[in-house]
Structure 1
């Protein structure tokens, strides 16, 4: 058995299973996609650090940090509260994604939602929460201290502006000197607060995180239907092939009649097509099958053929009737050849190979009466017609004379179903003459003129 026959056994014998393996995943994926609500995505861009990453490892570390912050339940809950949307923080976490732009510290933060307005507001609130958390290191105390220092610096700047205005309007030297001293004191405080603020910010963050681009208006999310369908197709096909291979290993099938005949060491005699006509079946075939069956019976030394196989009795009888109609009269090998030689105008002492071929080619035009007359005249042997019957009807026939067995092989039949027919021939001592490929005729297949002539 070659690779082609193995593929035929798997594909042809289990095409329904393979078709189901292909169609079911496609239908499931299509149904799930149709029932899934359409999602919208909004994207905001942020810079997580002013320091450029030196290597991809450093860039990946910053990406992991930003992703961890953006998907933290506390940060997401803060963003949901700030956006005032009715969403579960855990469900929002599943729809958050962060992508890095090259090897930089710039990232795109994306949030998906079935409502475009909710997606936009959640993205903006979340990117602000991520920037705030990144800048204060996630420590509420540090954040409060930074806020207090910033407020104090603002107060000092307001006081300095007021004192500076008074100093510009002062006319009294003593008052001007006092205001000048006050300005110097405010400048020292501003320098001290500014230095403390810078040191605290540097200790709580590797760099200042900022929002580069606010959340964009939500747009429909890209569809993955084509990818999902392709993946479902591949998975279904592989699963179908696997199941078909296992089934073929456990219950092997006959790939075709020729392969089964090769295993038995007998020829393929031809093909019979069965057509249903009411409660009965009619078998049709090419006329050449009569020659092959007759010569096979002659080689086996039998004049009776029993037809058997894994089909119901009505189909077996239809096959036997078709063969009986098309099987010619045979005698001994000498008588058959001499009759053909006589009818072809050749010598009685034998025929060259070319003449034999011409005689066989003209068999359709020679009547059975002429063959009988020529056989009697030339060889003195009285030929007898090959009798073809269904094996189930052998019990009611005169048992005189040996039988030959013709095995019918329908398409897609199991080896286990054909084995009893072979066992029947061995039990009865019938030599297997050959095998027949038996299939059902298509509904739109009209019988040819040659088939009409040889119908039973």
Structure 2
């Protein structure tokens, strides 16, 4: 299967479903956001450290630390006391507190969202002030603890190292040596933690409040990002559903693929009809399609054409009558255009009639013709001249109207198929060709989609 055929089957055949899955989630998200109560946001700007992060890893680590501190219980508890807000819980404030880094610097935006603009301003100011106080005060508690622990380990190491020369036996000396190695490893770990803390901005006491909480602004009620993400998620879900539908009920990727699977040509394409008109009205057939069909019939020497497809019986019958009339009209025009005086090869056993002998002859494509000779004076002598031959146009019937077609008649099949016929229709036509032995003349494209009233 070619890529364009796969796209036609999935996208072209189910575009309405894909549009529904794309638009519906976007409408739902937009409706929910419009239905939410109005909220306001207040922003404050905090510098966590005067030391700039040198790598993205350090910047991300600093952002994670500031975000964790800003939403911690101790900071929010003090912020609620400082702001005098007693009708909000710590969990509510933590859910509405957001921290964002300004580029790759150590400056952060602290945003607090609340339905009341005054409450949003109070909480944003209190949280940012408590955040600075933590960095410059209690935030250095970790540095102090690490330094004290390092000093204790060094003193303990000195005592153990002094006891090694006075060991009573080799076993005691080995135990003290192992203890000394463990103390050295702990000291190295403490030093690594101190370096990491200093890189994260701890211990420098340089945190500051760059700008206090601003006036609360109304939050945009419909977020374009969320709407777009909802549409993308819906589109992915629609594509998965379409793939599942194509697995359960596959289609053929157009009339060209349908004809290729059957080993025949595409004869043409019918015109589109008005759906509000009579369902039994024949679809428009252009002159090029009629010419192609007539040449195909003449090449195969067929006497009867049978049209079949997923369209209703009334539409197929109307199309058969239209094709028969157009083929007969085209055949008459072709006969009138034959050069006068052209003789046809007579068959044995002429039959006499009033105007002269009539011979059965064979025209182009093997179709039976009727040739009536007549006499005309040519150069002073009476000479028999055969007029233009009249080729018998084929009969065209719908599949359900083939009871009057004799079994010995040379019959061909024309499949009238929509743009994306189901694969079951391809199997049906293939089985029909195998069962009847009729040759496939070709495939006609039908732009109108129809479902038969009865099952095949």
TM norm. shorter chain > 0.5:
yes
The answer on whether the counterparts of 2:79 and 2:130 sit within 8 Å (CA) in structure 1 is yes
Structure 2 counterpart of 1:41: 41
Structure 2 counterpart of 1:404: 412
Please give the secondary structure, in 2, of the residue aligned with 1:6: helix
Structure 2 counterpart of 1:420: 428
Displacement of 1:91 in angstroms is: 1.8
The answer on whether the counterparts of 2:344 and 2:386 sit within 8 Å (CA) in structure 1 is no
Displacement of 1:323 in angstroms is: 0.7
Matching of residues 2-151 of structure 1 within 5 Å:
2-49=2-49, 52-53=51-52, 55-56=54-55, 62-85=62-85, 86-101=87-102, 105-137=106-138
Counterpart Cα distance in 1 of 2:309 and 2:261: 16
Counterpart Cα distance in 2 of 1:330 and 1:104: 83
Equivalent position to 1:388, from 396, 400, 420: 396
Deviates more, 1:88-97 or 1:60-69: 60-69
Q: Cα RMSD between the aligned structures?
A: 3.7
Displacement of 1:281 in angstroms is: 2.4
Displacement of 1:59 in angstroms is: 5.8
Counterpart Cα distance in 1 of 2:269 and 2:210: 78
Structure 2 counterpart of 1:366: none
The answer on whether the counterparts of 2:335 and 2:388 sit within 8 Å (CA) in structure 1 is no
Number of equivalences: 352
Counterpart Cα distance in 1 of 2:58 and 2:106: 9
The answer on whether the counterparts of 2:137 and 2:205 sit within 8 Å (CA) in structure 1 is no
> Are 1:251 and 2:260 matched, yes or no?
no
Displacement of 1:126 in angstroms is: 1.7
Question: CA 1:127–1:374 in 2, change beyond 3 Å: closer, same or farther?
Answer: farther
Counterpart Cα distance in 1 of 2:390 and 2:266: 28
User: Normalising to structure 2: TM-score of the pair?
Assistant: 0.66
Counterpart Cα distance in 1 of 2:373 and 2:242: 55
User: Normalising to structure 1: TM-score of the pair?
Assistant: 0.66
Give the structure with the larger helix fraction.
Answer: 1
Question: CA 1:70–1:282 in 2, change beyond 3 Å: closer, same or farther?
Answer: same
Displacement of 1:87 in angstroms is: 1.4
Counterpart Cα distance in 2 of 1:417 and 1:319: 19
Gaps of 5+ in 2: 142-201, 346-368, 375-384, 450-456
Deviates more, 1:118-127 or 1:229-238: 229-238
Deviates more, 1:275-284 or 1:307-316: 275-284
Displacement of 1:309 in angstroms is: 1.4
Counterpart Cα distance in 2 of 1:315 and 1:407: 13
Matching of residues 1-400 of structure 1 within 5 Å:
1-49=1-49, 52-53=51-52, 55-56=54-55, 62-85=62-85, 86-101=87-102, 105-137=106-138, 206-207=204-205, 209-221=207-219, 225-273=223-271, 274-275=273-274, 277-278=277-278, 280-328=280-328, 340-342=337-339, 378=386, 383-400=391-408
Question: CA 1:326–1:396 in 2, change beyond 3 Å: closer, same or farther?
Answer: same
The answer on whether the counterparts of 1:18 and 1:241 sit within 8 Å (CA) in structure 2 is yes
Displacement of 1:241 in angstroms is: 3.2
